[in-house]
């Protein structure tokens, strides 16, 4: 069952409540009967096991089959640098 956090607008307490997704959200603080609002909080949800990546991206060797250290460097400008490049004049 998901855990939701609510903050009381009167006493400013933050409470955690286990609720089903079908349950109606809380409207009153159980301590002072003030109005509460749902708070966005950090989730403890983690994807574990093969095929999941912490940052959402695979490493270069898994994506392309080539390690990033063996990739070729970007080409060098033939004119000798950006200050001499006709495209940078403006």
pLDDT at position 63 is 47
12 contacts: CB under 8 Å, gap ≥ 6: none
Answer yes or no: are the C-beta atoms of 16 and 5 closer than 8 Å: yes
Average pLDDT in the 3-25 region? 91
Most confident of 17-26, 38-47, 50-59: 17-26
Q: Which residue has the higher pLDDT, 65 or 54?
A: 54
Q: Round to whole Å and give the CA distance between 75 and 69.
A: 16
* Averaged pLDDT of the chain: 74
Which two three-digit tokens encode residue 21?
Answer: 């997704």
Domain ranges within the chain, ordered by starting residue: 3-39
Residue-wise pLDDT tens digits, 46-60: 666 666 666 666 665
Confidence of residue 7 (pLDDT cuts 50, 70, 90): very high
Global confidence as pTM: 0.46
Tell whether the model's pLDDT for residue 69 goes beyond 60: no
Answer yes or no: are the C-beta atoms of 17 and 26 closer than 8 Å: yes
């Amino acid at each position: 069952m998901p855990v939701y956090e609510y903050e009381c607008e009167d006493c400013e307490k933050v409470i955690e409540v286990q609720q089903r997704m079908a349950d109606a959200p809380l409207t009153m603080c159980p301590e002072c009967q003030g109005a509460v609002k749902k708070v966005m909080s950090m989730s403890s949800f983690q994807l574990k096991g093969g095929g999941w990546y912490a940052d959402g991206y695979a490493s270069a060797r898994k994506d392309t089959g080539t390690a990033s250290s063996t990739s070729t460097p970007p080409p060098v400008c033939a004119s000798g640098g950006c200050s001499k490049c006709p495209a940078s004049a403006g």
